[in-house]
Amino acid sequence: MDLGLKGKKAIVCASSRGLGRGCAMALAEAGVALTINGRDQGKLDATAEEIARATGVEVTPVAADVSTREGQDKLLAACPQPDILVNNNGGPPFRDFRQVNREALLEGVVMNMATPIELIQRAIDGMIERRFGRIVNITSLSVKMPVAGLDLSSGARAGLTAFLAGVARTVAPHGVTINNILPGFFDTDRMRSGFEAASKTSGQPIDEVAAARAAEIPAKRFGTPDEFGAACAFLCSQHAGYITGQNLLIDGGRYASAF
């Protein structure tokens, strides 16, 4: 399927690895020029080179912390008029809610709520003027199905979801969509770090922790960044202009609900 995105420009945050990288690759395969982001310059450059070599599109790596104003400035200097913005950022580590002090609370809200809102504020008017814009926020299954130990991440991402629910409706007449993708358990570094934490707490070997978690998923496996990226690319496509303000669960059926 031609996604109708050739010649468009995208900023994909936290895209040197994991789900962000999956999104970047899928957009590049659709002909989108990319500005990718990460903190590790070496890994970021390697990812940029790999995507450019595989797809032939222009890929600009920007090493920066997107949670800072300086980092956001660097991203938007590299791509001042993005047609597509994929918001992604690391989340707070697993911890008991009793250990979450005020400093940690504020940091979590900045990472997973304030940062994507700030980037949207800076990119959206250009999208409105061009009558085309696609914003996809990578949130989490935990927005709908709380995960003990990820309470801060769940709360901040749920706050982002509620904040943007109204915004999405105000920009819809201008050809701009805002949607969220809620990943379940995907084979990423973050998931593996969660298994390591659970292993230390329970005393179970990591492979047993992983096997038990996979057994809880109706699909009986973890997701891959490539299939996540394909869903993101579709939401960014010309075919998804009538989809906005939605939360797409990609979790192998883990969240049991009819609606």
Per-residue pLDDT reduced to its tens digit, 54-82: 999 999 999 999 999 999 999 999 999 99
pLDDT at 94 over 90: no
Domain boundaries, the chain: 9-186+224-250
Place of tokens 């690319």: 233
Instruction: Please name which of 165, 152, 185 lies closest in space to residue 255, comparing C-alpha atoms.
Output: 185
Give the phi and the psi of residue 146 in degrees, each rounded to 5: -55, 140
CATH pick for 9-186+224-250 out of 3.40.50.10470, 3.40.50.1240, 3.40.50.10860, 3.40.50.720: 3.40.50.720
> Quick one: 98 exposed, middle or buried, by C-beta within 10 A (0-12, 13-18, 19+)?
exposed
pLDDT at 190 over 80: no
What pTM was estimated for this model as a whole? 0.94
pLDDT at 189 (0 to 100):
80
Give the phi and the psi of residue 238 in degrees, each rounded to 5: -70, -20
CA 115 to chain centre: 12
- The model's pLDDT over 1-40, given as tens digits with 9 standing for 90+, comes to 899 999 999 999 999 999 999 999 999 999 999 999 999 9
Buried/exposed code over 66-88 (b: 16+ C-beta within 10 A; e: otherwise): bbeeebbebbbebbeebbbbbbb
